[in-house]
């Protein structure tokens, strides 16, 4: 056993010495990168501060009548219910993509809405009109008639790639502006 240890000791000590020299050379050698005093915690505050003013709340109202509930003429003939209306309200988020007043949102946010109101972070709000929709991709484009709008540049740093870190800024369920992070 002692012969085996002596036989292995030489290569092991030599390997450790080479490893320590390589580590020293990498950390403190003439070509070493300057030390970075990183706290280890990444902050996305700059990106959020840049993009958040262009994130908007979208309030929708849909007027529902009891005729919408019971469209069967036979049912309505015998039940003779008075016509009643009620308003269904919904809340979503969107982003201003052009300082001319174009807002990108999800189609499901504005689907079947009779009224749409866009509220900005700076306190302004305005009615919006639907410019276009694509239900298949769940996208909708709105327009608001306001001036001096903040905007987010879409695809500003080139194409998005698998592995890129992305941030989502919104107002889920009206709780206030939130930020979440994901990886494409």
Q: What is the CATH number of the domain that holds 109?
A: 2.40.10.120
Classify residue 179: in a domain, yes or no: yes
Classify residue 175: in a domain, yes or no: yes
More confident: 159 or 22? 159
Give the pLDDT of residue 12: 52
Mind listing the pLDDT tens digit for each residue in 31-57?
545 555 556 567 888 888 888 899 999
Mind listing the pLDDT tens digit for each residue in 131-171?
999 999 999 999 999 999 998 877 667 788 899 888 888 87
Determine the Cα–Cα distance for residues 95 and 84; give it in Å rounded to an integer.
35
pTM of the predicted model as reported, rounded to 2 decimal places: 0.66
Classify residue 31: in a domain, yes or no: no
Model confidence band, residue 73 (pLDDT cutoffs 50, 70, 90):
low
Contacts of 182 (CB under 8 A, 6+ apart): 165, 166, 168
Contact yes or no for 102/139 (Cβ under 8 A) = no
Give the pLDDT of residue 7: 58
Classify residue 34: in a domain, yes or no: no
More confident: 8 or 90? 90
| Parent domain of 141 | 45-183
Mind listing the pLDDT tens digit for each residue in 77-122?
555 556 677 777 878 899 999 989 999 999 999 999 999 999 998 9
Classify residue 140: in a domain, yes or no: yes
More confident: 87 or 76? 87
Contacts of 168 (CB under 8 A, 6+ apart): 179, 180, 181, 182
Classify residue 21: in a domain, yes or no: no
Question: What b/e readout covers 59-82, taking b as 16+ CB neighbours within 10 angstroms?
Answer: bbebeeeeeeeeeeeeeeeeeeee
Give the mean pLDDT of 2-21.
54
Model confidence band, residue 25 (pLDDT cutoffs 50, 70, 90):
very low
Helix (H, G, I), strand (E, B) or coil at 174: helix
Of 6-10, 26-30, 70-74, the least confident: 26-30
Residue 1 clears pLDDT 90, i.e. is over it: no
Determine the Cα–Cα distance for residues 40 and 27; give it in Å rounded to an integer.
18
- How many domains in the chain? 1
Model confidence band, residue 14 (pLDDT cutoffs 50, 70, 90):
low
Classify residue 15: in a domain, yes or no: no
Other CB atoms within 10 Å distance of the CB of residue 156: 6
Classify residue 88: in a domain, yes or no: yes
């Amino acid at each position: 056993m002692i012969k085996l240890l002596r036989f292995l000791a030489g290569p092991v000590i030599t390997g450790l010495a080479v490893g320590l020299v390589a580590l020293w050379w990498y950390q403190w050698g003439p070509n070493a990168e300057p030390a970075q005093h990183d706290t280890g915690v990444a902050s996305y505050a700059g990106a959020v501060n840049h993009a958040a003013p262009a994130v908007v709340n979208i309030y929708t109202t849909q007027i529902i009548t009891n005729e919408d509930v019971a469209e069967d003429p036979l049912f309505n003939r015998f039940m003779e219910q008075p016509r009643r209306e009620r308003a269904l309200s919904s809340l979503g988020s969107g982003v201003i993509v052009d300082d001319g007043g174009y807002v990108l949102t999800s189609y499901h946010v504005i689907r079947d809405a009779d009224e749409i109101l866009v509220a900005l972070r700076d306190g302004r709000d305005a009615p919006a009109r639907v410019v276009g929709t694509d239900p298949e991709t769940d996208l909708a484009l709105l327009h608001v008639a306001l001036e001096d709008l903040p905007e987010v540049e879409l695809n500003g740093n080139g194409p998005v790639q698998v592995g890129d870190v992305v941030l989502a800024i919104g107002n889920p369920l009206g709780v206030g502006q939130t930020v979440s992070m994901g990886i494409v």
